[in-house]
Structure 1
Amino acid sequence: MICCKRVYDPEEVADGQRVLVDRLWPRNVRKEQLQALWLPEVAPSTALRQAFHKGEVDFVGFTERYRQQLTACPEHWWPLLGMAAKGDLTLLYAGKDTLHNNAVVLAQWLEDELDRQGPPSSPVCYADER
């Protein structure tokens, strides 16, 4: 199962492999404190992230452009696909919006890729559903 969770939420055993998928390190979190792998290269480009936060791009546009970026660089997300295929994967993000963020888009992307490669996988879960 691939879950999305705020980096500020407490770690749980059910999280499985935890991966921070933001380009910037989250505020007020020490690197020693966070028990997670950090893959900043899988995050949306700085320009796309800034346009989304400024409101220049809505979530639908952000999703389309981010998915284009993911298509162009499979080497960035391929390790996550392997982790998800082996067990539980939690994508960590720092944003306050639990439904409209890069981790949600990435989780759906990974689920789509897993579905293309084999039998249907388990659904994506979000922090609110736990």
Structure 2
Amino acid sequence: MALQIKRVYDSFQESDGMRLLVDRLWPRGITKENAHLDGWVKELAPSHQLRIWFGHRAENFEKFAMLYQEELDATTEAQAAARQVILQSKENKVTLLYGAKDPQVNHAIILKEYLEAKVLSL
């Protein structure tokens, strides 16, 4: 499985492979052309309510991770999207793109770990 995460604002690299935006909202200040996206998988993003509660605050990260994984498990659309991303990552490198400023406190970290764990169950 070839899966990585990267800020959507970081420069495009051919080595990124398939580039998938995993935010529910379009990132500010970037055009679709500059994003170099192969897809936008909103189904894998946290819900609006969870995102607002989290607020990208480090002190909320652990509880956010638990709640976010529960959301992913409970949503049929998220499960279908997760399967697609996992299948794609078995054939090609996949880069999950996110817009958050902090590379240590964002949902893409949790999503990557979640997808890597799901591989074992497929």
Q: Above 0.5 in TM-score? A: yes
- Of the structure 1 ranges 69-78 and 18-27, higher mean CA displacement relative to structure 2 is found in 69-78
After TM superposition, give the deviation of residue 54 of structure 1 in Å: 6.8
TM-score normalized by the length of structure 1: 0.83
1:54/1:33 CA distance change after superposition, 3 Å: closer
Q: Is residue 5–residue 91 contact of structure 1 (8 Å, CA) maintained in 2? A: yes
Alignment-mate amino acid for residue 52 of structure 2: Q
Q: Provide the secondary structure at the position in 2 that maps to 1:11.
A: coil
Q: Provide the secondary structure at the position in 1 that maps to 2:34.
A: coil
Partner of residue 89, structure 1: 94
Task: Give the gaps of 5 or more residues in structure 2.
Answer: none
RMSD after superposition:
1.7
Task: Give the gaps of 5 or more residues in structure 1.
Answer: 118-130
TM-score normalized by the length of structure 2: 0.88
Partner of residue 43, structure 1: 45
Structure richer in helix, relative to its length: 2
Structure 1 residue runs of 4 or more that deviate by more than 3 Å after TM superposition: none
1:35/1:115 CA distance change after superposition, 3 Å: same
Partner of residue 22, structure 1: 23
- Of the structure 1 ranges 7-16 and 70-79, higher mean CA displacement relative to structure 2 is found in 70-79
1:84/1:54 CA distance change after superposition, 3 Å: closer
Identity of aligned residues (%): 36
Q: Provide the secondary structure at the position in 2 that maps to 1:33.
A: helix
After TM superposition, give the deviation of residue 63 of structure 1 in Å: 0.4
Is residue 114 of structure 1 aligned with residue 119 of structure 2? yes
Distance 1:71 1:94 in 2: 23
Alignment-mate amino acid for residue 64 of structure 1: M
Q: Provide the secondary structure at the position in 1 that maps to 2:73.
A: helix
Q: Provide the secondary structure at the position in 2 that maps to 1:84.
A: helix
54, 71, 74: which one pairs with 1:72?
Answer: 74
Distance 1:10 1:32 in 2: 12
Q: Paired residues, what number?
A: 117
